[in-house]
Structures are given as structure tokens and as C-alpha cells.
Amino acid sequence: MRLKMEKSPTFVIGLIVFLLLVAIADAEEYRVYQDPKKPINRRIKDLLKRMTLEEKIGQMVQIERTVASAEVMKNQYIGSVLSGGGSSPGPGSSPEKWVDMVNEFQKGSLSTRLGIPMIYGIDAVHGHNTVYKATIFPHNIGLGATRDPQLVKKIGAATALELRATGIPYTFAPCIAVCRDPRWGRCYESYSEDPTVVEAMTEIIPGLQGDIPTTSRKGVPYVGGKQKVVACAKHYVGDGGTIKGINSNNTVTSFHNLLSIHMPAYDYSIIKGVASIMVSYSSLNGIKMHVNRDFITGFLKHTLRFRVIRLFSL
């Protein structure tokens, strides 16, 4: 004998509601921004719409290593950490100590509500110069004197390997200032007073980041794998031409001279896929570069078609 069980309408409705709730929960757990198979623009839009104002502010902030901790990264939603000049985990720190420090900060970032990883950056400007026993290369003024772009590219590749060995994916280099006054205290960071030499030395960028594919669009960044790092062309623009060579002073120049002397290396850097550009501390014809909309939004973004990170250093 077969027993027939009749299901009441209430049971059926309850089952449907339960299944709908499960489906909704699954949909909420799926985060488009964490799906590497989705287009990058879609992932960015999905992440931004989930973020609070506090989280957005935190992501725009870069703090020095000495004030960072896993707790600070988590509670303040900090987007980036840097090592300033000579700032390290301790005297004679090994690569392992650097990796441990970076990983500890990263744990704090990944434990936030949205799990956004932080970016660690450092001034590896002539090799990984803050790290004990790293390979140190001549400063840019010496490399420019070689007139050898391929040598500079090899130096970029070697620096990238040593950066990655310490867990760091980002260097605030190269400085592509054109030093027009030897009184400037940072002239040693410039490849040359000749803009054509500085243009040629931007070959360090594919050394650091990898060779950009020929099919890539201008302004789109390229970092070619785990043995490469993000580069940063700096300081946009005209920092090597300030009055009397005073650091962070005012550069007074015509538009023609700006385009022919100070700007070409940035165009070359963007063509080579540079992933970030640091805005200068200096002024241009009396206007602080940090608030110079015409040259940051207008020229850099729209004319040169730079699409990625612009750093504002204070």
C-alpha cells in the first residue's frame, strides 16, 4: 500500500521563500570586484558602490611605516604604506624581516570588511638602497653619463627582483626631472640637463615593470608578473627648473619650453606603460602643482591620456 502525502499550501510557500533567501544570500556573498575574470572597470564600479566615505578616505591615504600596524591598517582602512628615506624595520634588517613586516600590515588590510589589499612603496632610487646588503647602483646623474639606456633597463630589472624579494611591489622611481640649475640639491637624481638624455633613460621603466605589449593602448599601465614592480615617474612637472635651483620652489617658464624641456620624458614614460606619476612639490608659474587642474586633469589625463595613479606627496 502506498501512502500519499499531501503538502499544504503553507509548506510549499515556505519552501519557496526559503530557497529565495538562500539565493539572495549567495548573491550577496558573490563580490564582482574580487572576481579576476570580470572586466576591471566593472570590478572597480562594484567595489566603489560598496565603500563608505570613511573607507574611500582611508584608501586615499599613504602613511609612513613607523606609524603603521595591522590594527591601524584595519581600523583606518589605510590604502598604502611607505618607507621614507632610510626607514626600515631595524638596523641590518634581512629580506625576511622586510617580508614579515609587509605581511603583517597586509593582514590588517585583508581583515577589513571589504578585504582591500594595501600597497607598500619605497624609494628604491638607485637599487633597493634602503635594504641592508642590497645591490646599490650609481645615482641617476652617473647613469645618465653612460648614455646607455639598455644598461639602465637592466638595472631596473635587477632592482625589481630585489624589491620583490622583500615583499615590496612599488618603487617611487624613476626621477625624470631635467636639472637646469646645478644649485638644485637633487640634481644627482636627474639623468641630465639634456631632455633627450632623460627621455632615453626612461627605459628603466620597462626594466622595472616589464616590456609593454605592442597592442597596449597609451596610458594603460603594465606590470609584467611577479618579478616586476610598479614604477613611478616623478616629479610632475618642472621640478628641475625652479628659480635659483631652490627645492620645491617656483618654475617660471613658457609653455613652449615646458613642452620641449620638462614634459617629453613624461610622454615617453606613459608610452612605456608607467603605472604611476608623482605630482611635484614645486610650483609652475606661481601655481602649486598639487592644485594645478590644467596640467594634472587637463594635460596629464586628457592630452597625454594617462589613466592610472597620480600621487600627491605632502
Statement: residue 235 has pLDDT above 80? yes
Q: What is the pLDDT of residue 310?
A: 76
CATH 3.20.20.300 given to domain 123-314: yes
Which phi-psi region, left, alpha or beta, contains residue 12 (left: φ > 0; alpha: ψ -120 to 50)?
A: alpha
Statement: residue 28 has pLDDT above 60? no
Q: Cell numbers of 308, please?
A: 592610472
Mean pLDDT of the region 105-120: 98
Q: What is the pLDDT of residue 4?
A: 52
Phi, psi of 157 (to 5 degrees): -65, -40
Mean pLDDT of the region 187-214: 98
Statement: residue 5 has pLDDT above 90? no
d(CA 68, CA 18): 45
Mean pLDDT of the region 78-82: 98
Statement: residue 9 has pLDDT above 80? no
Statement: residue 1 has pLDDT above 50? no
pLDDT band for position 12 (50/70/90)?
Answer: low
Q: What is the pLDDT of residue 162?
A: 99
Segments making up each domain of the chain, as ranges: 38-121, 123-314
In this structure, of 9-13, 78-82, 94-98, the range with the lowest mean pLDDT score is: 9-13
Q: What is the pLDDT of residue 121?
A: 98
pLDDT band for position 288 (50/70/90)?
Answer: very high
pTM across the whole model: 0.90
Distance, CA of 94 to chain centre: 24
List, for residues 290-311, the tens digit of each pLDDT value.
Answer: 999 999 999 999 999 998 877 7
List, for residues 220-233, the tens digit of each pLDDT value.
Answer: 999 999 999 999 99
d(CA 229, CA 227): 7
Q: What is the pLDDT of residue 309?
A: 74
